[in-house]
Structures are given as structure tokens and as C-alpha cells.
Amino acid sequence: MRYLLAPVSRPIACIGIDLAGLPHRETGVAILRDGRLDHLSSAGGDDEILASVVQAGADATVAINAPLTLPRGRCCLDDDCPCRHDPGTRSRALERELLRMKVPALATALIKVLARRGYHLAATLRATGCAPLEVYPFATLRLLDLPASGKRTQLGRRRIHNALQPLVPGLDHPAASEHQLDAVVCALTAHLWHVGHTRTVGEADEGLMVIPAPGALGALCPSPPAFAEALPRPRRVAEDRVPYDSGAGSGAGSGDSGEAVGGHIAT
């Protein structure tokens, strides 16, 4: 009888989606299988994104970098709807919690174009039986103590790419776009979730975000010495700390919005 209980060996598939606010902008897509990068591409419209989810497989965990729920009490994100009240209906608890952790995040209502797309994409996925995870690559990188800034420049992307390489076998894409790199981090976060090294911020009846748990880096990377050499630490400290400290106390939606939303400034 024992043999009947042996687990079926099936690869863990995770697809990361760095969602753009608008279909004509680049959405990054990355698929990890058992933690190894299997696919890296870009998508445009929702049909292309959903095709990538199908490609990842029916069992795949979907992780999306975008708000997937509305702030409590809101029926929409329209400025002229009675559901809007100030203060208190711009952000979700998860965004306020991130700010308290010194991880800047824009309030949902301030990135409404992206949030509307994320909300509808999540609804479409849920209708197919898939429960997408909301993730935030910037938070994942910060909480894993990896370089998180400067991804608008080739040098910055290279630093993030090189720091991710020991954690994501198969990642050898030095020319990857910032959205593709963010998609890799989304998928990595989903993989961490699978292996039990994440926690959530936010409130269950409003919306949760999955972030790495303390110690997640050690679980991913059992050989810290080699990993430490891959990180250009001196520059990272100088670039990361100053701007975030200065913006951390000024409330949801302010601070380093450009980096915080990974280029998804909704306009």
C-alpha cells in the first residue's frame, strides 16, 4: 500500500507576468519549471498574456505584478464615483503595510490604469479556476537583499540579472528588458510561495500580496559565499538607501514612485 502513496513527480510551473498598464506597452512573461527558467518573452494584449498562461500549463501558478483587487469600499477606481472618499480609499492595507516596511508602493488609486487591467485579468483567470497571486518584484528584490534599483539603465539591469542568476538556473539573458527581469522575479516569488518561503501583506478580505519570508534567500541559495561574490555590494548600498529613506514617511502614493511601480506609471 505504501507505494500507492508515493507522490507523483510533477514539475512546479510558475508564470510571472509583469503587467503593463496598456496593451501596446511591453508586458514581461517568464515561466519557471521547478525553479528553472524555461521561457522568457514579452506580450501585448490580454489574449497574448492568456496564451502564455495556457503555455505554462493547467497547474501553473500565476503571479502578476499589478493590483488585483480594489481598496476596501471601492466599487471602481473612477474619481467621480461616490465610492471615492478622501482620505482612506486610495490605498489598500497591503500598500500601507509595505510602506511601514520601508518598501515604497504606489496606492492602487494612483495607478488606476494598471489596477483596472490587473483587476480584470485576475477576474478572467479566476473564471477559469486559476487563483493568481499578486506580487511586487521591487519588494521581492528588496526583501531578498538583492539590487532593486536602476533597472532603467543597462548597467542596472545587468546588476539585477547577475544577482538573480544564482537563484534562477537557466537565466542567461543579459539583454533582458526591465519588464522581462521583473517577470522573472514574479515567477521566482511564485516558486518561493510553492516551497513555503513566503508570507503575505494586506488583509484577506481586501487583497493580499505575496512577499518573501525572512530566510527565503538561504532556502534558494545554499552556497552564500559564491552568491555574495556575484553582488556588486558597494554601489548597491549607495544607490538604494538614500532615496527610500527620504520618501518613506510621506504616505501612500508618494516617494519613489518610478522605481516602486517598475515603470507602470499610469497615465
Least Å distance, CB 92 to Zn ion, is 15
Of 112 and 191, which CB lies nearer to Zn ion in the complex structure? 112
Contact 66, 117 (CB under 8 A): yes
| Residues 98, 60, 200: CA angle, nearest 5 degrees | 20
User: Judged by CB under 5 A, does residue 195 bind Zn ion?
Assistant: no
Least Å distance, CB 75 to Zn ion, is 4
Of 83 and 155, which CB lies nearer to Zn ion in the complex structure? 83
Grid cell in block for residue 58: 493547467
Least Å distance, CB 76 to Zn ion, is 4
Contact 108, 92 (CB under 8 A): yes
> What 8-state DSSP symbol labels residue 2?
G
Interacting stretch for Zn ion, rule CB under 5 A, among 5-13, 52-60, 69-77, 129-137?
A: 69-77
Burial of 163 per CB tally in 10 Å (0-12, 13-18, 19+):
buried
Least Å distance, CB 115 to Zn ion, is 13
The site map against Zn ion for 77-106 (x = CB under 5 A) is ----x-x-----------------------
Q: Which residues of 211-238 are buried (b: 16+ CB within 10 A; e: fewer)?
A: bbeeebbeebeeeeeebeebbeeeebee
Of 75 and 123, which CB lies nearer to Zn ion in the complex structure? 75
User: Judged by CB under 5 A, does residue 76 bind Zn ion?
Assistant: yes
Find cell 489596477 and name the residue: 115
Exposure on the CB side of residue 98, measured as CA atoms within 13 A = 34
Least Å distance, CB 79 to Zn ion, is 10
Least Å distance, CB 112 to Zn ion, is 11
Of 76 and 226, which CB lies nearer to Zn ion in the complex structure? 76
Contact set for Zn ion, span 206-265 (CB under 5 A): none
Of 91 and 198, which CB lies nearer to Zn ion in the complex structure? 91
As a whole number of Å, the CA-based R_g of the chain is 18
Q: Is the peptide bond before 23 cis (omega within 30 degrees of 0)?
A: no
Residues in the chain: 267
The residue from 54, 58, 75, 219 that contacts Zn ion (CB under 5 A) is 75
Number of residues that bind Zn ion (CB under 5 A): 4
Least Å distance, CB 23 to Zn ion, is 23
Interacting stretch for Zn ion, rule CB under 5 A, among 67-75, 202-210, 228-236, 250-258?
A: 67-75
Of 75 and 237, which CB lies nearer to Zn ion in the complex structure? 75
Find cell 483587487 and name the residue: 69
- 65 in helix, strand or coil? coil
d(CA 254, CA 245): 12
Footprint of Zn ion (CB under 5 A): 75-76, 81, 83
